[in-house]
Amino acid sequence: MITVIEQLLTRDEVEQFRAKLAKADWIDGAQSAGTRSVAVKQNQQLDRADKLGKQLGEMILRKLGNNAQFVSASLAEKIWPPAFNLYQNGGHYGTHSDAALMRLPESGLTIRSDLSATLFLSEPDEYDGGELLIEEQFGAQAVKLAAGDMLLYPSSSLHQVTPVTRGQRICAITWMQSAVADGAAREMLYDLDQSIQALSLDRPKDDPDIDRLVHVYHNLLRRWATV
């Protein structure tokens, strides 16, 4: 399932991020690539220990924790500390898949990557190319969102970032382990939760039909969760 989280960051927050990142110490992105990915990765990134990257990453994590759509779509149990990357002058990331298990030795964190996320920090008209191309069952989907919007997509998918031929494409990326490992089950729970929320708007808080749907939702979650 591919899900767009609109305006995770407000316009003012995006501007604050961009102003700080304009002074950042970018390094060669190949340093964090795997043995096969290094051959197709050409970008820049902030070092994992970079203080600015950690500060901005913590802000993103707080926003995610308060975003009802993200919580519903991901059912995230563990989230990788957000990282920041920059593509320019033909920079790209060829077709690859994300590692199934990701380890952060300094914090003892290990996650199973169920979902990947890209938070766009550059407006689409600021750069040419740079589409996030995700291969799905019925073909490839190219995504280029407004600054402040985030895309959630399966970590198991093959994907790439096409070459940036003009301007700069700046994004934050992260991965998460879901409490529900099965993608199809997670999608059904998301659809059910979104329907419950929509139906609840015009009904009293003690509506028995809504209560029954909530009961079904939690029993399904109880059945499928792996925690």
Euclidean distance between CA atoms 227 and 206, whole angstroms:
30
Euclidean distance between CA atoms 56 and 205, whole angstroms:
38
159 is in an annotated binding site: yes
Q: Shortest CA distance to 122 belongs to which of 150, 84, 148?
A: 148
Q: Shortest CA distance to 191 belongs to which of 90, 69, 92, 85?
A: 69
202 is in an annotated binding site: no
**Environment class of 217 (CB within 10 Å of its CB; exposed 0-12, middle 13-18, buried 19+):** middle
47 is in an annotated binding site: no
98 is in an annotated binding site: yes
| Binding-site residues from annotation for 2-oxoglutarate | 169
| Binding-site residues from annotation for Fe cation | 96, 98, 159
| Binding-site residues from annotation | 96, 98, 159, 169
